Structures are given as structure tokens and as C-alpha cells.
A and B are shown apart, each in its own frame.
Chain A
Amino acid sequence: MPLASRHLLGLRGVPKEDIQQILDSAASFREVLERPIKKVPTLQGKTIVNLFYESSTRTRISFDLAERRLSADVVHFTSDSSSVKKGETLRDTARNLEAMKIDMIVVRHSAAGAAKFLSDVVKANVVNAGDGAHEHPTQALLDMYTLREKFNSLEGLRVCILGDILHSRVARSNIHGLLTMGAKVSVCGPRTLIPRDIGEMGVEVYTDVDEAIRDVDAVNVLRIQHERMERAYFPSIREYHRVFGLTAERLAKAKPHTVVLHPGPINRDVELSADVADGERSLILRQVLNGVAVRMAVLYLIGTGS
């Protein structure tokens, strides 16, 4: 079954069956990744441009590997090596790339809506690799894949997203995807870093970490950015860690099976203490491994769809 959309711009509005299909398909690609030769000919002859306007190591490499393992031809475009400095608009850049007969664009951009904007101006399939604070659908899919792998099902699962919700596209995509799959979602963090109206997205809101994680199956810890202090979102890193950091001590008060996710890169001993990051409840490296398979599934389903 082809997916409902020929782009993956976000998880909002993506039907449950499509998410299911992506996760199922990712499971097949996960097997491929265990083989000695980790490559399939699925996207042979397709050209994919990775259009990265924001620096990214993990996501870019993960997409790059996924594309190569599907045998696609891959071109990288990063803002520091590009015509962006010469003042070219996103629309012009995309149209120029398209004139070179590309099939798909994977885009990372600091502006919310940039992926949607691209999909309006080019014919190629667009996969959103993160647009501002809007969505980061493949991250949420790999988070969900990792949780499903651990718990077999997402239905009824209780997940708390902890940290800077306000600026987080990972949080938004997770909320949409998890709610669609029947999970219960809460958010927790300083009041300044939680959007006033987040409750309307169907999540519970906490400002007390102990209370927030007491009954959950998973905590998805978000990276806190130091520069947020400049606009008075929180007073200091020290205070953030004390009040909102996920420590072994705190985690001990949660259920014994509660697992920890983090989209990376980690600020050790800030949002997450080192012992938790490296501890047995951490699924962080599992997420990275699954990320490649999930992105292969997305590229495959989008690239061979309509």
C-alpha cells in the first residue's frame, strides 16, 4: 500500500496505518543491517539531495547511510558550502536542484514550515529532516520504533517528554505520532520552556519531574541548549540539572522497567546524568541504530510510492 502522502513533512495527520507500515518496513530493513552486505537495490537510479541548512551530524549521517544502503545516488548540500551565502532563496536553490533531475529532497532547515514550502515549489518528494520547532518526523518514528521494539506495542504506552518542549520539533513529532498510535503522552520541564497551549495537543503537563515520571514506561529526554539562558528561560545549567535533570536517583523512583530515550547529542550531567545515559535503561544507542532502518523505510516507501 502506498502511503497517503508523497512527502513526509511531519507526523501530524499521518494515518495510523501509514505509521504502522513504516515501522513494519523498518523492521525488515533492520534485518538487512545485520547482514554482512548491508545494501539493497531498492532505490537504484534514484537521486536524493540532502539539503541541510542547519548543522547536523547524526541525522545527516543517518540519512546518508540509509540512502546509500538503498543504492540511491546521493548529493549533499550544506549551507556553509553553498549558494546560501550568495543570497539565493530556498525556492531558487530547490528549483535549480530540481532542474538537475533529482527525485527526492531531504531537508533540514531552521525555519518552521520550510519542508512544506519546498513541497509546494518542487515536484520531487520531500522528506523533512527537521524544520525549526515544527516537526522532525523521522526522529519520532525511530523513537517509536525503539519503544515498539522494547514493549511490542505502542497502544496504551505512557511516555513523558522531558525538557525544552517550546523549541523542540522532536517533541511535537513525538506527540503527534504517539497519540496516533494510542500512547499516552505527557510533557515536563520548566514552565518557561513549555508552550502555554500545549495541553490542546492532547498531552498532560508537569513541572515536577518526580511526579511526571512516576508511572511512565519511557522518558524521552530532550537536549537543553545553553543559549536559552540568554532570554531568561532558566537561570543556570546547575539549577536546570538539579531541578529537571534525569538522574539515577530520580529514575530509581520510577517503575523498574522505565526506559530512557534521548535524540542526541547529549549534554552529559545537564539534562541527563552520565550514569543514566550509559546505564542499562538507556536505549540511546539503540535509537541511533534503528534510525538508519527507519529512514531506509521512509525513503523506500516515499521513493517507490506514487
Chain B
Amino acid sequence: MTTLLLKNARLVDPSNRLDVESDILIVGGKITKIGKNLTAESGAETVDLSGKTVAPGFLDMHVHFREPGFEHKETITTGCASAAAGGFTGVCCMPNTDPAIDNPAVVSFIHERGREALEGAVDVYCIAAVTKNREGKLLSPMSELAAAGVVAFSDDGSPVSDAEIMRRALEYAGMSGKPVIQHAEESSMTKGGAMNEGRTSTILGLPPIPAVAEEIMVGRDIRLAEYTGAAYHVAHVSTAGAVDHVRRARVLGLKVTCEVTPHHFSLTDDAVEGFDTNTKMNPPLRGKEDVAAMKEALRDGTIDVIATDHAPHSPDEKAVEFVNAPFGIVGLETAIGLAVTGLVEPGIISLNRMIELFSINPRKILGLPAVEIAEGKPANLTIMDLGVEYTVDTASFKSKSKNSPFGGKKLRGKAVGIVNNGRAIFA
């Protein structure tokens, strides 16, 4: 793609209050012109986007691309294909790989693979471990890792349990200005747990993961964030009590942010009936009140980001007894559909707000350059069909893994393509 002309699209960018029907001309990866009835030189690729919406490129700040170490679940190449198909121009890889992302060599390996995949159409960022080998004991070399280009620190999959280590991590990471992202879970209360504690866990006899275990960890961490003055981000917040903690922290003006996954605002723990292992993730699907609280917090601005926690597992790994199945589901290719269907269509949030949640806020939290739809800016775009209705077919996922509870679900709204780094990919 040297020259790309997108015709008749609805361009929406809340950062510069743009919402127009227009053409957009992209030359050498840059937006050179926005306006009606644009023409391009012969040989330029022209795509008619009548009825489609173009937004600043979406960034998923929480994915597991499994490379290095677990390439049978996903590779950076298949992960990027999944991201592109789902409308994401950027992703942040969590460090629970093998070896873990806890040293600059692994960081440059992942960056390199990211540049190769789809010829670099998807920006692949790293979130490095807080502690060496994610063991919660010794700090990772955070300054070196920051210099190698990581965007945040997290031991995701495991919490940083020890309060003293968490304090030091916040202080040390604070020097680089990078946030510490916590998988908030008081492990002593969740040992052996398989699903949310509630009516359904009681009936199914599955070992419980109580909501309070997430809430007390978020509460502790917010006090530590206040004490250290560092930036703290709650990964995949899932309970009403946890978002209440975040809401109060905001009132105090603390540097506290949080993300929610599409499944935590779309499904309750009722979905676990039938023991489908594609409803097993951590944090688990929660109760009705919690799902309502997620929607309210998305509406009132307490939740900053929608991130998928894309967690691929092979079919064999999931085809076991519920308690023995690994946690996690893939999420990149259903995220837009779930947000449009569950949040925008019912009027809980506006389209502008959805774009903030997917594109603007995650970059702000991670200190990445803002993406704008404006002349002279790099073309980093997510293209969506907000009106299309379809049934989710997991077999058609570009991800190497198909572990999703949304197969067969009717959704409205999906990505039809991305433009980034001089590449255009259309579904």
C-alpha cells in the first residue's frame, strides 16, 4: 500500500470531535487529506466504505500471545492475525510466557516477531513482569526493561501477593512513570477455586472464588498507590466492590485506572451451568449485580478501558473436567461485537465513549502517543461495520485457538479492517 483512498466512510474521533462522512486519503502510511469527493492517482487502491465507521486504531492492552513457550496455543503471528481480524492495530502482551518477559532479550524477541507478523500491521508491545519469573519475590530489572520499550509491569495470571514487594514495585516502577498492572486476587482465599462463589457454584458444587478476594486486593493496592504516589492499574476488574474502590480512588485524585473484559460485562456465572470449560476464566464470570456494576462503571467513566484478556488454549487442554481445565478464553475477535451489542446498542455508552475505551484511554494510561484521525498524522485506523448482524462462528477465528463461550451468539457490529504502519488489512 503506497496510496490508499477510503471513500464515503463515517470518520469518528472523539479526541478532535470529528464525526463526519468523508473520504480519507492515505499516502505512505500518513493521512494526507480528509474531505469529500477525493480522487487518487491511478494505481491507488480505492475502497468504498459506505455505511462503515472509521475510528482511531484500537489497542488491546491485555493479551496472551503465548510465544515464547506455548506456541501450540498461539503465536505472535496468529495472535496478530486475530487482532487484525478483531479490529485492533495494537496489543500489549502479558509476560506469562516461558521464559517470562522479565529480561530485555525476551522483549526484543517479541518486538521482532511483532514486526514480522503481517508485515508489522499490528503494533506489538510488551508488559514485563513485576518480579523475576513472576514469582512474586525479587523485582525484575524494571529500568532495563523500560529502556527496552516495555509499556507497563504486571505479573498477570498471578497477583503480587506480598504487600511489601508490591510497595517496592510501585516505588521502583514509579521512577519510569510506567504503571503497575495488578491481577487483583487474594490467593489465600481462592486456592483451588474454579468459579465465582454464588448460587451457581453452590448448585454445581464447584470450588468457589469469592468476589471479596478481588476486592480486598484492590483495596490494599489503592492504599499502597496512594502511599507511594505511583500509577496503579487494575487488570480485568470484575466485581461491584472492586469498581467501588476505584471510584473512590478517583475522587481522591489518585493515579488509579482499571480495565474490564467484554465477557465480564456480557455474561454472568449462570453461563457455567452445563460445565462448559469455555466459561472458565480468572477472574471468573460474576453475579448479576457485578455485571450491572460493570455497565454502570463503563457509563460513569470509572472504567477506563475495555481489554480482552485474550487467553488462547488448545481444544485438548479445555476438553477436560471443569476443575482441571485452564483458565481463559480468546477475546480479540468478539470484542467489538460484544461492546456494540451489549453497551452501545442499548444506550449504556455512546460510540465516542466506546472509542475512548478501546483506543484513546489505553494509550494514555501506557504513555503511548495519541492516535488521531487528522491530516498529517500516521494512519492508524480501525474500520467497523456497526450495523451488521451475524452469528459468531469460532471456527472462522484467525486465532490458533477457538476457546470462546460466544460461539453461536448473535452479535451486532464487527471489525472489517485495520490500517496501520502503511499496511491495510480487510476481512
Contacts and interface: CB of A to CB of B under 8 A. Distances in A.
A90 B199 contact: no
Interface in A197-211: 197-198, 200-201
B206 interface: yes
Contacts of B323: 111-113, 132
Interface string A67-93: 000000000000000000000011100
Contacts of A90: 320-321
Interface string B90-117: 0000000000000000000000000000
B241 interface: no
Interface string A90-131: 110000000000000000010111101100010000000001
A201 B204 CA distance: 11
A229 B319 CA distance: 33
B317 to A, nearest CB: 10
B352 to A, nearest CB: 39
B202 A109 contact: no
Contacts, number: 64
A261 B252 CA distance: 58
Contacts of B206: 112-113, 132-134
A169 interface: yes
A111 B322 contact: yes
Interface string B195-224: 001110111111110000000000000000
B275 interface: yes
B197 A12 contact: no
User: What's the interface size class on A, roughly?
Assistant: 20 to 34
A197 B275 contact: no
Contact of A133 (B205, B274, B275, B321): B205
Nearest to B319: A91
A196 B321 contact: no
A7 interface: no
A200 B202 contact: yes
A279 interface: no
B203 A111 contact: no
A189 B322 CA distance: 28
Contacts of A201: 199, 202-203
B203 A172 contact: yes
A2 interface: no
B15 interface: no
Contacts of B197: 196-197
B314 interface: no
A89 B317 CA distance: 10
Interface string B411-426: 0000000000000000
A135 interface: yes
B324 interface: yes
A112 B275 contact: yes
Contacts of A89: 316, 319-320
A131 B205 CA distance: 9
Most A-side CB within 10 Å, residue of B197, B275, B323: B275
Nearest to B323: A111
Given A116-B274, A197-B197, A197-B198, A109 B205 contact: no
A264 interface: no
Contact of A172 (B205, B275, B320, B321): B205
Interface in B314-354: 316, 319-324
B199 A197 contact: yes
B369 to A, nearest CB: 48
Interface string A122-160: 000000000111110000000000000000000000000
9 contacts: A113-B204, A116-B274, A117-B320, A133-B207, A134-B204, A134-B205, A169-B205, A172-B203, A195-B201
Given A112-B205, A112-B321, A121-B319, 12 more contacts: A89-B316, A90-B320, A109-B321, A111-B322, A112-B322, A113-B204, A113-B323, A116-B274, A117-B275, A131-B205, A172-B205, A197-B198
Please name the 6 residue pairs, one residue from A and one from B, whose CB atoms are nearest each other, closest first.
A133-B205, A113-B275, A111-B321, A134-B205, A195-B202, A112-B205
